[in-house]
Amino acid sequence: MVFSKQLRKDLTGYAFILPNMLGVLLFFILPIIFSLVISFTDWDFTWGIGNWNWVRLENYFQIWKDQWFVRSFINTVVLSIASVTFIILFAIVFATIIDAQCYGSIAIRLAMFMPKISNIVAVSIIWVMMYSPWGPVTQLLKTLGITNPPKFLGSYTWALPAIIFMMIWSGIGYAVMIYSAALQGLPAEVYEAAKIDGAGPIRCFFTLTIHFLSPTTFFLIVTTLISMFQLFAPIQLMTKGGPGSSTSVMVYYIYTSAFSFYKMGYASAMSWILFLLLFLVTLFQWNYQKRWVNY
């Protein structure tokens, strides 16, 4: 059989991408389809593949009656909103100060970005030690006159705020880098005109900078919110969802349901609920991005 030159060229190209396509099919597409199928079953991992009963939508209805899932959902929403809010507020202020060419701005930018590129396991373990009774955070509070500082990760009340504080600390650097890049492209002539009209730095910040950075702010809100909804490693390493259910989040509860209690069908249903939530966030981005940018 004789192939044309163009066909041979096309087959060569397909041969190069075939391994990658097979990997996507075997490790991405098929698992997604399988998880959707078993989300309508009561499959227990220990029963073996195929040994399941079809329960239709029962898992999806039962989820909202599960107090652990509801608590995990609430914790996820609280953690996400609090973290995103403070990350955006602090990042835009720090980026503006750094962009003003303050002394040591390059070193400050690098130092703030280090948590983003650091290994999350190492970061989590370090923060566990910092929050411990003999750690620097507790000792600092005692130095400031607080005789009985909270036990942070061991407290039902303070464990989630402690996780939120760590996520704010680790997420500011990336947001500052994005804002710093955006600030480089702002129109200098507009700021010069504002200064001629008598506007000071603070007024320029609130009336010009925040407005010009609105597309960047929208991008950071959406991407950071999605990453917070997918939070798992710090919870697994620092608190394991405790004390009680105070720091349990959706991804961690999905993990424990699947690999601790072997309820794969139930865990798959929760995974699809999480997917739908993130999908709605993405739809929000697509539908309101132009309106936000043009505001």
Q: What pLDDT is recorded for position 199?
A: 81
In contact, 171 and 179? CB cutoff 8 Å: no
DSSP per-residue letters across 128-197: HHHHSTTSHHHHHHHHTT-SS---GGG-TTTHHHHHHHHHHHHHHHHHHHHHHHHHTTS-HHHHHHHHHT
Residue 44 DSSP one-character state: B
d(CA 163, CA 252): 14
Question: Using 50, 70 and 90 to split pLDDT, how confident is the model at 59?
Answer: very high
Contacts of 50 (CB under 8 A, 6+ apart): none
Angle at 270 between CA 32 and CA 49, to 5 degrees: 55
**Which amino acid is present at 144?**
L
pLDDT digits (tens, 9 = 90+) for 162-216: 999 999 999 998 999 899 888 888 888 888 888 888 888 788 888 888 888 888 8
Residue bearing tokens 């039962």 = 62
d(CA 157, CA 243): 9
Average pLDDT value for the chain: 88
pLDDT digits (tens, 9 = 90+) for 108-139: 777 788 888 888 899 999 999 999 988 898 88
Alpha carbon distances (Å) from 172 to 3, 4, 39, 182: 57, 56, 37, 15
Structure tokens at 203: 């007024």
Looking at the predicted structure, is the pLDDT value of residue 101 above 70? no
CA-closest candidate to residue 252, choices 263, 244, 262, 241: 241
Q: What pLDDT is recorded for position 112?
A: 81
In contact, 175 and 98? CB cutoff 8 Å: no
Looking at the predicted structure, is the pLDDT value of residue 99 above 70? yes
Alpha carbon distances (Å) from 253 to 92, 166, 188, 230, 273: 33, 20, 49, 11, 13
Alpha carbon distances (Å) from 273 to 60, 64, 241, 269, 270: 8, 10, 19, 6, 5
Alpha carbon distances (Å) from 237 to 4, 141, 152, 199: 58, 24, 15, 49
pLDDT digits (tens, 9 = 90+) for 68-84: 999 999 999 999 999 99
Looking at the predicted structure, is the pLDDT value of residue 50 above 90? no
In contact, 73 and 250? CB cutoff 8 Å: yes
First-to-last C-alpha distance (Å) of the chain: 62
CA-closest candidate to residue 133, choices 141, 121, 123, 145: 141
